[in-house]
Amino acid sequence: MKKIKRIMAVLICMTITLTGIPVSVNAENSGGKSVQTMETGNELFITLEENTRYRWNVNDSAEKNSVVHLDTSGGDNCRFRLDHIENEWYGIKHIKVDGTDRFADVDGKSKNNGAVLHLWESSDSKVKGNNHRQFAFYYIGNDANGNARYYIKNRNSGKWIGYEGKLNNNNPKIIQTDEKNRKVWLITKSVVPFTGKESQVLHKDDKTAVCEIHKAGELAALNRMADSLVPGALPHFYTMGTTSKWKLTWVKDYNAYQIESISEGEKDTGLALDVQSESGRMNTTINLWVEEEFDHNQNTSQLWRFFKQSDGTYLIQNARSGLYILETVNGLKLGEQGTKIDLSILAGNTEKTKYYYAENWMANIPDDALLSSVNIPATHDTGTAGVVGDVIPQVSGTSCQNLYYDEQLNVGARSFDIRGNATKDKASPTDVLIVHGKGIWQCEEKDGSHLRLQSIFNTSLDFLEKHPSETIILTIKPDAGSVVGLEHAVAEFVEKNKEKVYSDGDIPSMQEARGKIVLIRRFELTQNYEDWQTQAMGLNLANWDDVNYRDYKYAYKTYDDGKNRVYIQDAYNTYDCDIYSKKWEYIAGAMKQTTGKDKSHPIEYNSWVFNYTSCANGIPLNMTRHINPDLYTDKENCIDNRFLGTVMLNFIDDPMARLIYETNSNLIFEPKLPTPEVEVEYGQTLAEATLKGIEDAPAGAWVFKDADHVVTDQEVTDQTKFELIFQPADNKKYKSVTMCVPVKTVKKSEVVSANATDEMEIQEIEQLQSEAIDESSSARRIVVNAEKKAKTYGEILTSEDLTFTISDSEKEKLLPGDTVDSLGLTLKATTIVQEDILSGSTIDEDGDDILGAYGNAGKYVILKDNASNSNYDVVVRPAFLNVSPKEAEIEWNAAAQYTYTGNACGIEANVKADSLLENDSCEIKRLLNAQRTEVGSYKALAIGLTNANYIFSGMRRVCVWKYEILPADPEVTFPTVEVTYGDSLRKAVRTGQSGNGVFRFADNTAMLTVAENQSEQEMIFTPFNPNYKTVMSSVPVTVLPRKLTISPERTEKEYGQTITEYTWSISDGSLAGDDQLEDLKINVTLTAGNAEKENCKVGLYDITEKTPLTADNVNYTVLFKPGTLQVQPKPLGVAWNTDGTVIDTGKEANVSAEFTGVLFEDDCKAVVEGGNEIKTGTYTATIVGMIGEQSDNYVLHGEDTDYQIEYQIVKKEETKNPTDSKETSTGTAGKKPTGTSVSGKQVKTAKTGDSISYIWILMIAGSIAVIGGMIYVIRRRKQK
């Protein structure tokens, strides 16, 4: 019975082995859980987790015996798919383009560690039942980036999958190994594993969006070379091209984008960015190819990912290879180091995302800034991105833009030139077509329909609703049609959108303009409107074209209403030819004017400046290809943090828009200010004036230039204007502003009568005296005249100082013998107080109120004191004694010049004590304008003295001290500068600098050679704070050689061949300017060492320098990166030992094969199955393997049938004409394959994944029957 059990056990084990029935299903261990739901039927990559640059690849052209190994994307045979066999077991099938797909298996069905995986069978039927071709995948979770991680196990050996040796750039073979050496594999859909550093550049609601791709920091954008639409066309970076628009399409399954080429009107071309031959090799050309659907994960070379860099730029990675788009002298290639790009999404694809990608750059402009003082990117002939009947874009005479209106808004333009053609007099905005020129070139929407004014308005309102921090300026001009109709359409829009149109008339502040449309009109109004509506229709610039610029190469003032001004440079037709330099003179002149570089034509405060870079002579695009690059490289050194105004551009794009609006980041703006109403009292200086109406102005001080000036009645009558300076509190945001204002009101003093005169006072006193004379007196009356006298406060007054005169007629009245002295007349001086005069009050010896030595300054009257001769009645005609205030000396604790510190200068003014009389005190009443802190010229004013007996020297009410605060030297450290040969100084790398301001070279466009290393270049530092000096320094510039890396092209040779020649190309970096490859003067010889020999083993070898690389051009540092020489296995032929007929001998047929073409007496033998049949019949012998020490150096090409022979075992008498044994050559001989695989190529059809077949059932039944028969025989024997 024991014998029977052993026999049964053996039979059952044999049955299990032969049938492949799994011993365990869904097995679990420390290596995770085996998976029965792996993706099948689609192409996959199997990537090494520890270094995702490496993935499974297959040697040679993926034929029989080709070894599976690790390779970078340079290996082309990296596509696999999984075929489900049963339960958790799968076949791993290599997918060969235009060839036979074959399964990976363990070479020789080995169960040993280190056995290599190679390719052999192509038929699915040869997998089931052959456990060395079956693998299980043990899921061990996702990595941090969402990639599924697996261990892989072979069914036959129970071993795990790893790689041979160490990963030292040697592309090791895939082997089976024990658990401790197994590797983790990432399985992805024919794209490199996700790293988590990829950028999602589209809004989640956008599946597609139109974009432009610019070379970082440059105008050059990705275009189709020669605008070609032929598959295989090459893309390149080109400045001002006409095919710069691309459509990004998000492909969710791959976390990647397709970059599709589009044509005019943004229509699909059916072409997408691709890699030539779908290769993953470095230096492979990027081209355009027919858009793929990615069915079964094929052709994923059309998928791209964006990686954002720390400086905001992007690298574009090919999702299939993991290599990046690299610009080289030979075009765009795949490279390990990519070319940085700037990505500009022109418009979203849904209502929600249409304006999602726009920059809210105006949000950073201060609220009180005048809109006209902002540097604004703008577009000339805004609607001409599409023009009906236009010719080829390259030579169009009408197209001035490449971007549509919404796209212009999204890239940052905020001011627009709208040309209308109203089709009737009572037009609505829908009746106004957008055109270009008197020839009525009709502008188009993206869909080809007519572009209308209503569309411009609607788009503007939609944009502002989503971006309320911004404003839109529309200059509307009638280019054709009814001017009255255009007026009607604009008025209708304004009426219906009161809240969305700025309507205050003056140039608005940024705050006033936010969220609104600001209109400017180039036509007269023919109808009467309410004031607000007239103002809402904008400043009237109907005289725009009245200017003849010719030799006037500046912006011309075309509008001035006393408050608002408009300057325009629009010299579009004042030069005689299509030469851009002629137009450039006008553009540059206006920029120098606005920045103050040319001070001969200053721009006034509150002025809008429009600088048109467009032209009418010649082809707009041709001219713009010179103008825009010159602007972008700042040819005139004007584009920094100075005022430019509104720059009207042709062919605007994201880099040009940013060039203009990013200058606002450090710009100091003009504040919008009210015009104050000025009031002064009689005798006051301008410094004491009261300013009204400035309550809403920004914080700051208002100072008159001539602050010490005393306003006269005549100046008020004449409305004389005085310079008033506004000095902002925040001088980092706002400029000081000078305006001229009249003094509108003078208040009369109620204390001092401005019209009183000495004569009037004297008359009043005489009248009082005459009323006091005693008419009854008998004395002889003599009339004398007191003499007018003047004294200064502090001078002693004596009786001798008071004198009188007497006329000759009065002298005749004297009695004989009397003289004037006989009158005994003395005079007195008293204050002009009527009551004192009448009462005759006295306080001196004689009883009179007479001025003493220290009388106060003022006006006194000289009167009769006494006349001792009673014979005479002496009448004295009074006179004035003017006692002037004493001049007090002022001592200024001040300097004429100060250097800015941020603090007040500490100016003080005091009355010198030694200029006062003893015991007097006197101080200055008010000290004005002495606390200035900002740079400028000022007058400190000492106004009034507390003691009326004193006055400032020169008898003035005000004492002035002129001083100025000079800019301080900034705390600045000029940078250490390095620039790479070929880059302009604008791109120089600066390190170690300090200082709050802008560093720039005087000539930013200069390009230095290495020979000019350490040459000194003038650098300018402009502080953000205007209280510091702009300083210059000569800075030594380190000029670094331009780095290039050259690499040998990936080279292949067949085992048995020699190789001595290699080619190389630039793999990283690019040549400068017009330099050519031969200019590098590179000398290098290359070698692959022993791999060049005939008998080197199959594998990958480094191509290195045999002699060190030298480059005689000092402007370049040329590095060398080893390349790869791949030694491919040699294809073998087969020679069978029979012609197909074998004579029956009763023994095994012994059908065998030998390989032909084996070299060097290598050990390489064929393993044949099915060649040892015994009985007569027809059979098939198949080569199922190769063995021998050097067998890895060979491969079998062709179809499976090329390595089979059908033979017959026949009786001797059946033998017919025998033939010599035949040899099957290598190559594509054999049957023509049938059927179609999922990859689109012709392959043989075969069922895969069947469960238990009928043959297996018969085998099991047969085994049971045999066992049952044996038991029956044994029992019968026992019974006997």
E strand or H helix that includes residue 674 = none
The percent of the chain in helix, strand and coil, each rounded to the nearest 5, is 20, 35, 45
The CATH architecture that domain 24-188 belongs to is: Trefoil (2.80)
Backbone angles phi, psi at 77, to 5 degrees: -100, 65
Q: What percent of the chain stands above pLDDT 70?
A: 87
Residue 1234 — pLDDT band, cuts 50, 70, 90? very low
Least confident of 412-421, 545-554, 958-967, 979-988: 545-554
The amino acid occupying position 445 is E
Mean pLDDT on 1017-1046: 93
- The answer, yes or no, to whether residue 1154 has pLDDT greater than 70, is yes
Q: What does the alpha-carbon distance between residue 790 and residue 828 come to, in Å, rounded to a whole number?
A: 14
Rounded CA-CA distance 465/457 in Å is 12
How far, in Å, CA of 355 to CA of 1155, rounded? Answer: 69
Mean pLDDT over 783-792 rounds to 92
**E strand residue ranges, 1170-1237:** 1177-1187, 1194-1195, 1204-1210, 1223-1224
Reported as a pLDDT band with limits 50, 70 and 90, residue 576 is low
Going by C-alpha positions, the residue among 565, 570, 554 that lies closest to residue 378 is: 570
Tokens of 457: 């308005």
Q: What is the pLDDT, as a whole number, of residue 299? A: 85
CATH number of 199-347: 2.80.10.50
> To the nearest whole percent, how much of the chain has pLDDT over 90?
64
* pLDDT tens-digit readout, 208-247: 999 999 999 999 999 999 888 999 999 999 999 999 999 9
Instruction: Say whether pLDDT at 1041 is over 90.
Output: yes
| Over residues 283-311, mean pLDDT | 92
The angle subtended at Cα 569 by Cα 565 and Cα 574, nearest 5°, is 140
What are the start-end ranges of the E strands in 443-521? 472-481, 517-521
| The pLDDT value given to residue 684 | 82
Q: In what order do the strands lie in the sheet with 879-884?
A: 789-792, 879-884, 858-867, 825-831
Position 468 pLDDT exceeds 70: yes
Residues 6+ apart with CB under 8 A from 568: 541, 544, 547, 555, 556, 558, 609, 610, 612
The mean per-residue pLDDT over the stretch 265-285 comes to 92
Average pLDDT rounded to a whole number, residues 146-173: 92
For 132-196, give the DSSP string: GG-EEEEEEEE-TTS-EEEEEEETTT-PEEEESS--SSS-PBEEEE-GGG---EEEESSSPPP-S
The rounded distance, in Å, linking the Cα atoms of 959 and 910 is 11
Q: What is the mean pLDDT of residues 886-915?
A: 93
Is residue 659 predicted with pLDDT exceeding 90?
yes
Identify the pLDDT of residue 21. Answer: 36
What's the first-to-final CA gap in the chain, in angstroms? Answer: 17
**CA nearest to 285, candidates 229, 330, 338, 245:** 330
- CATH class belonging to 1042-1128: alpha beta
What is the rounded CA–CA span in Å between residue 1220 and residue 1137? Answer: 9
Which of 385-399, 679-693, 878-892, 896-910 has the least mean pLDDT?
385-399
98 within 8 A of 107, measured Cβ to Cβ = no
Predicted confidence at residue 162, as pLDDT, reads 97
**CA distances (Å), 1203 to each of 410, 1075, 1223, in order?**
65, 56, 10
Of 60-64, 628-632, 966-970, 1259-1263, the least confident: 1259-1263
What pLDDT does 785 receive?
Answer: 94
The token pair at 1209 is 């075992």
Q: Is the pLDDT of residue 1274 over 70?
A: no
Torsion of CA 361, 362, 367, 372, to 10 degrees: 130
Say if CB 1176 and CB 1211 are below 8 A apart.
yes
Residues whose CB is less than 8 angstroms from the CB of residue 588 and which lie 6 or more positions away in sequence, other chains included: 553, 635, 636, 638
Please give the Cα distance from 264 to 997 (Å, whole number).
44
Q: Is the pLDDT of residue 168 over 50?
A: yes
Q: Letter for the amino acid at 1027?
A: N
Q: What would the two tokens of residue 202 be?
A: 């589209």
Check residue 1269 and give its pLDDT.
61
Instruction: Provide the mean pLDDT of the chain.
Output: 86
Q: Is the confidence at residue 839, as pLDDT, over 70?
A: no
Report strand pairing: 976-980 vs 1031-1040. Answer: parallel
CATH code for 374-666?
A: 3.20.20.190
Question: How sure is the predictor about 1238, in pLDDT bands with cuts at 50, 70 and 90?
Answer: very low
At residue 29, does pLDDT exceed 70?
no
State yes or no: pLDDT of 758 exceeds 80: no
Task: Give 811's contacts (C-beta < 8 A, 6+ positions apart).
Answer: 820
Question: What's CA 134's distance to the chain center, in Å?
Answer: 53
739 or 749, greater pLDDT:
739
The answer, yes or no, to whether residue 353 has pLDDT greater than 60, is: yes
Q: What is the mean pLDDT of residues 893-908?
A: 94
Q: Which two tokens stand for residue 365?
A: 């402009």
- Give me 1155's structure tokens: 């390989």
> pLDDT per residue over 851-860, tens digit each?
444 478 888 8
The answer to whether residue 1241 scores a pLDDT higher than 70 is: no
Q: What pLDDT is attached to residue 550?
A: 80
CB atoms within 10 A of CB 1221: 14
| Contact in structure between 256 and 319 (CB atoms under 8 Å) | yes
What are the CA-CA distances from residue 536 to residues 474, 709, 766, 1032, 1060 (Å)? 12, 41, 70, 47, 80
Backbone angles phi, psi at 303, to 5 degrees: -110, 140
Residue 340 has pLDDT above 70, yes or no: yes
Confidence of residue 2 (pLDDT cuts 50, 70, 90): very low
